[in-house]
């Protein structure tokens, strides 16, 4: 129905134009449409001309536009400017609202960024494994030097004095030392891999290091005693204790004489 009305209006417009000037064709100009085109492509928003042009006789050159504005939408033509992008229209209000929202979003983004950076720093500070910087820079070498030092001492006595080594490893004290070393290595690895505050991690490393150094000295002395026993001469090698000296009468005198004369 609307298309039919538009066709009728177009026909009537063309008919009146022919009556006005039968000799020439007058191009129809609708300034309202031109203004709308300017507004659509953002050339000139203030070109507001809803009144269709008329000829010198007052007859509309665009009869369809005349009917559309003067009859169908007369209240809009006679009323106030209803364009959304007018100076006091909703566009500017919405634009101001969007600007305020953008500022609020920026504040939220900055706060979120700060939280993210804090959480990232906390994660890096508390992470272990490859991110355990104190272990990499200091404690790893300290612990390794202690464990390797004990292993080297055991290797020496095992290589040179295997019988003494076999006697030593079955003792209760030595088995306790081995158990302590295994437990300490597990403790170090668990702390190294755990999610723990850096300060707490360093404090725990220091406590283990002090305890391990004390145990190392104890183990070293224990191994040295067995090594010392291994260096003592066998009973079959003791023939005399001096030039024509009378052999001692008891074991205490024998040991005393050995300590005085044997070259360790």
Task: Give pLDDT tens digits for 177-212.
Answer: 889 999 999 999 998 888 888 888 889 999 999 999
- 219 lies in the same domain as 245: no
Q: What whole-number distance in Å separates Cα of residue 13 and Cα of residue 52?
A: 12
- Residues 62 and 106 occupy one common structural domain: no
Please work out, in degrees rounded to the nearest 5, the angle formed at the alpha carbon of residue 166 by the alpha carbons of 163 and 172. 140
- Pair (145, 217) in one structural domain: yes
Q: Is residue 7 part of a domain?
A: yes
* Statement to judge: residues 19 and 104 lie in one domain: no
Same domain assignment for residues 221 and 244: no
Say if residue 156 is in the same domain as residue 118. Answer: no
Q: What total of structural domains would you count in the chain?
A: 4
State the first-to-last Cα distance of the chain, in angstroms, to the nearest integer: 126
pLDDT tens readout for residues 21-57: 545 556 666 776 777 777 666 566 566 666 666 777 7
Same domain, 9 and 53: yes
- pLDDT digit string, tens, across residues 87-98: 677 777 787 888
Residue 33 lies in a domain: yes
Answer yes or no: do 103 and 132 share one domain: no
Count other C-beta atoms under 10 Å from residue 121's C-beta: 10
Q: Mean pLDDT lowest for which of 72-76, 112-116, 229-233?
A: 229-233
User: Based on the domain organization, do 219 and 133 belong to the same domain?
Assistant: yes
The verdict on residue 83 lying in a domain is no
Tokens of 63: 């009869």
Write down the pLDDT at residue 218. 86
Q: Are residues 106 and 148 in the same domain?
A: no
Nearest to 122 by CA among 200, 205, 196, 202: 196
Statement to judge: residues 45 and 108 lie in one domain: no
Q: Is the pTM of this model over 0.85?
A: no
Range of the domain at 180: 128-231
């Amino acid at each position: 129905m609307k298309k039919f009305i538009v066709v009728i209006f177009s026909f009537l417009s063309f008919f009146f134009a022919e009556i006005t000037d039968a000799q020439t064709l007058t191009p129809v100009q609708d300034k309202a449409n031109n203004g709308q085109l300017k507004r659509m492509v953002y050339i000139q928003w203030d070109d507001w001309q809803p009144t269709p042009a008329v000829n010198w006789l007052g007859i509309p050159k665009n009869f369809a536009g005349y009917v559309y504005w003067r009859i169908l939408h007369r209240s809009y033509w006679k009323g106030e400017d209803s364009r959304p992008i007018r100076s006091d229209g909703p566009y500017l209000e919405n634009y101001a609202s969007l600007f305020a929202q953008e500022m609020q979003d920026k504040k939220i983004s900055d706060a979120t960024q700060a939280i993210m950076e804090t959480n990232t720093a906390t994660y890096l500070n508390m992470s272990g494994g490859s991110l355990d910087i104190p272990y990499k820079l200091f404690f790893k070498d300290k612990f390794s030097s202690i464990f390797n030092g004990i292993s080297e001492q055991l290797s020496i006595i095992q290589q040179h004095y295997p019988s003494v080594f076999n006697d030593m490893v079955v003792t209760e004290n030595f088995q306790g030392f081995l158990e302590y070393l295994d437990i300490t290595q597990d403790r170090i690895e668990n702390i190294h891999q755990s999610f723990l505050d850096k300060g707490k991690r360093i404090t725990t490393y220091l406590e283990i290091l002090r305890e391990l150094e004390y145990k190392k000295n104890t183990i070293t002395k224990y191994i040295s005693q067995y090594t010392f026993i291994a260096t003592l001469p066998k009973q079959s090698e003791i023939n005399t204790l001096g030039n024509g000296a009378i052999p001692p009468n008891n074991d205490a005198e024998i040991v005393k004489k050995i300590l005085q004369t044997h070259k360790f």
